[in-house]
């Protein structure tokens, strides 16, 4: 058995700590904003490899309890999020909303392109494969009371965190920002450090460089409020 003196033991601990620090992944701005530079697996529903494997394990175990979990949305690129944003903005403006009103309505559920957690390959919107699939999948009533996905939601409430998946936008009455999304789960082991890296990005500079409807109304003051309420006011377990 190798014996260490106390000073030697402390040196070993320090070296191990530094090795652990150096092994941490730092994510690029491209990876964090859905513009590439992120390794993904899967065909239609893409995720980071570790997330994909954790999801498959959860999906297989849920089947043992007669719950068939299906991904409704996984990784989403910047371009795809931009398409969603621009389409919604144009629709709301055509309905008579002011630019500010259109933006506020969009961010009830949808993110500003470049700021979506779906850019990270760690977050998934989930449903259950059932006989009578509703036309509108991702609505709260499908997941509560006797909704079509309520059995799935009860299973997830009991089991999802065992596999590393946490609800992002919970039903807390004190939470600001995005409304309750009982379908949106995040793989904490990877999304937690990605959030920390994301907060270092200059969002003002990023959004000034892209073609985004209503861009001039997304001011630095608005972005600060959006960051505090929509990006950071999430399930405390994910912070």
pLDDT of the residue at 3: 52
Of the candidates 192, 186, 177, which has an alpha carbon nearest to the alpha carbon of residue 230?
177
Domain limits of the chain?
28-233
Separation CA 164–CA 122 (nearest Å): 10
Separation CA 143–CA 222 (nearest Å): 32
Of the candidates 13, 25, 80, which has an alpha carbon nearest to the alpha carbon of residue 50?
25
pLDDT of the residue at 24: 62
**25 C-beta neighbours (distance < 10 Å), count:** 9
Separation CA 53–CA 135 (nearest Å): 29
Both tokens assigned to 215: 């861009």
Backbone φ and ψ for 123, nearest 5 degrees, come out as -115, 145
User: Which residues, in sequence order, are CB contacts of 123 under 8 Å at separation 6+?
Assistant: 74, 117, 168, 184, 185, 186, 187, 191
pLDDT of the residue at 2: 47
Q: Is the pTM of this model over 0.85?
A: yes
Mean pLDDT per block of 10 residues along the chain (239 residues) reads: 47 43 72 95 96 98 98 97 97 97 96 98 97 93 96 98 98 96 98 98 93 94 97 97
DSSP state of 177: S
pLDDT of the residue at 174: 95
Options 2.40.50.100, 3.40.1010.10, 3.30.1380.10, 3.90.850.10; CATH of 28-233: 3.30.1380.10
pLDDT of the residue at 131: 84
Separation CA 159–CA 143 (nearest Å): 16
């Amino acid at each position: 058995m190798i014996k260490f003196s106390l000073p030697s033991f402390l040196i070993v601990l320090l070296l191990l700590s530094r090795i652990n620090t150096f092994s941490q992944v730092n994510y690029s701005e491209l990876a964090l904003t859905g513009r590439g530079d992120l390794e993904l697996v899967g065909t239609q529903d893409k995720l980071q490899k570790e997330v994909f494997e954790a999801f498959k394990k959860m999906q297989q175990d849920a089947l043992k309890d007669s719950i068939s979990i299906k991904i409704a949305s996984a990784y989403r690129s910047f371009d795809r999020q931009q398409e969603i944003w621009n389409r919604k903005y144009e629709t709301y403006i055509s309905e008579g909303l002011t630019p500010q009103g259109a933006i506020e309505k969009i961010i009830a559920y949808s993110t500003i392109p470049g700021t979506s957690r779906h850019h990270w390959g760690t977050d998934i919107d989930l449903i259950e494969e059932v006989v009578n699939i509703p036309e509108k999948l991702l609505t709260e009533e499908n997941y509560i009371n006797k909704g079509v996905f309520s059995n799935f939601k009860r299973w997830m409430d009991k089991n999802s965190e065992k596999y590393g998946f946490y609800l992002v936008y919970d039903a807390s009455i004190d939470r600001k920002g995005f409304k309750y999304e009982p379908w949106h789960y995040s793989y904490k082991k990877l999304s937690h450090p990605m959030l920390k890296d994301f907060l270092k990005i200059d969002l003002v500079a990023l959004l000034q460089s892209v073609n985004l409807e209503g861009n001039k109304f997304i001011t630095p003051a608005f972005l600060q409020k959006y960051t505090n309420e929509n990006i950071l006011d999430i399930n405390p377990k994910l912070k």
